[in-house]
Amino acid sequence: MLTTAIFPGRYVQGEGALAVLGEELARFGTRGFAVMDPFAADALTSEIEAGLAGKVALAAERFAG
């Protein structure tokens, strides 16, 4: 189940949320930038790329503290 809230931006969470990442980010444009902690960078990159579905070009930087 996805849950959304709008205050002042949009917040989406829940199972399958990364699968709709491209749709959600496309609301803001065609390019994005993500700062990812080491876990996200190592474990979620392929899922994030799949969720983008070519709708948004995402540059990512690993957060090093």
CA angle at 23 for the pair 17 and 29, rounded to the nearest 5°: 130
Number of compact structural domains in the chain: 1
d(CA 36, CA 21): 15
Q: Domain limits at 16?
A: 2-62
Res 10: pLDDT: 80
Residue 12: CATH number of its domain: 3.40.50.1970
* Mean pLDDT (10-residue bins), the chain, 65 residues: 77 94 93 94 95 96 91
Res 8: pLDDT: 63
- Beta strand 2-6 with 10-14 is antiparallel
The residues with which 60 forms a beta bridge, in sequence order, are 34
Question: What number of residues does the chain have?
Answer: 65
Which residue bears the tokens 């902690």?
37
Which amino acid, residue 60? Answer: A
**Are 52 and 58 in contact, with CB atoms under 8 Å apart?**
yes
